[in-house]
Amino acid sequence: MKAAYHRLLAVQIPSRKAATLIGVSRTTMNRKPVPPRSLPRAAPPNKLSDAERAEILSVLNSPACVDLAPMQIYAKLLDEGTYIGSLSTFYRVLNENRLVKERRRLATHKPRTIPELVATAPGQVFSWDITKLSGPVKGKYYDCYLMLDIYSRYIVGAHVHATESGELAVEMMKEIFGVHGIPLVVHADRGTSMTSKTVAALLSDLEVTRSHSRPRVSNDNPFSESLFKTMKYAPVFPERFTSLGEARVFIGDFVQWYNHDHQHSGLGLHTPANMHFGLADLLAAKRTQTLAAARARHPERFSTTNDPKILAMPEAAWINNPQQRTSLAA
């Protein structure tokens, strides 16, 4: 590589361009080589002999010192008028012999199972969470319970209460299941209400699989988190709610808009209601006809005969798609 660099310089090619052509920096090519050491480096004069290190190890492992910290041993030896090495030397010798370690029995936890869920139709997987709504004064909050179908993004239920509890969550779920049917899986994070015994008992009685996010991993509940962001970033979202009633009215209006008017970018710009109730395919066919007619009138304005990708409807909805994680790991 260096020979090629110098050949380029010999034909009057600038050094910067020559370095670029061979794929290295000019600084690297101009660096002077470091001459190899002809003689081994001499041992420092303060290095302990093997016999001295063995003596230190013997003292540290003696019955009188084996259960003491090196600092205590060092002090006791000085009190007895003995010096066999510095405190740092004690630790160095112990490290060399792998005798320094954590003595306490520390708890070990197995890694949490990554939730991997897929929904290919409405009614299979519901996701829910609770978010705080600021009340009339600082420190006062209302709790908004929201559950949605991850395939259609349709909000199947929303309640606002003054407190958070498992009993209120069970009340919401009973109402939702009575209207939309019992799903196969209910996914949530690990909040106190989500993991409460009342919620667990209800889902167990209904033979619904419970799924939970890993601790401190918000990506494990992406649909609920994304829904809350859409709600709180809306221009009409107030800084504070003056009353519980006002909060309930706002959430009711938001659910109506989100389900029936929001053109969702993850659904091919269809509304969640159209996806949930099977109307999206008919509308997608109508959109295709409209685009085909426009393409026939002005073919020069279209670079492809396919519909835009943004209008493509998803075949499935995933939480932690294992195929994507495998490809990223590879």
**Per-residue model confidence as pLDDT tens digits over 144-181:** 999 999 999 999 999 999 999 999 999 999 999 999 99
Q: Which domain holds residue 129?
A: 117-267
- pLDDT tens readout for residues 284-322: 999 999 999 999 999 999 988 899 999 999 999 999 987
Report the alpha-carbon distance of residue 213 to residue 107 in Å, rounded. 22
CB 100 within 8 A of CB 94: yes
Across 267-287, average pLDDT: 95
* 123 and 257 belong to one structural domain: yes
Q: Which two tokens stand for residue 328?
A: 């990223």
* Residues 136 and 186 occupy one common structural domain: yes
pTM higher than 0.85 = no
Domain of residue 259, CATH code: 3.30.420.10
192 and 142, same structural domain?
Answer: yes
Answer yes or no: do 229 and 154 share one domain: yes
**Are 258 and 265 within 8 A, CB to CB?**
no
Tell me: pLDDT of 119 over 50: yes
**Same domain as 89, residue 133:** no
The answer on 165 and 86 residing in a single domain is no
Q: Is the model's pLDDT at 327 over the cut of 80?
A: no
Which has the closest alpha carbon to 84: 55, 51, 108, 123?
Answer: 55
Residues in the chain: 330
164 shares its domain with 263: yes
Same domain, 212 and 70: no
For 176-226, write each residue's pLDDT tens digit.
Answer: 999 999 999 999 999 999 999 999 999 999 999 999 998 888 789 999 999
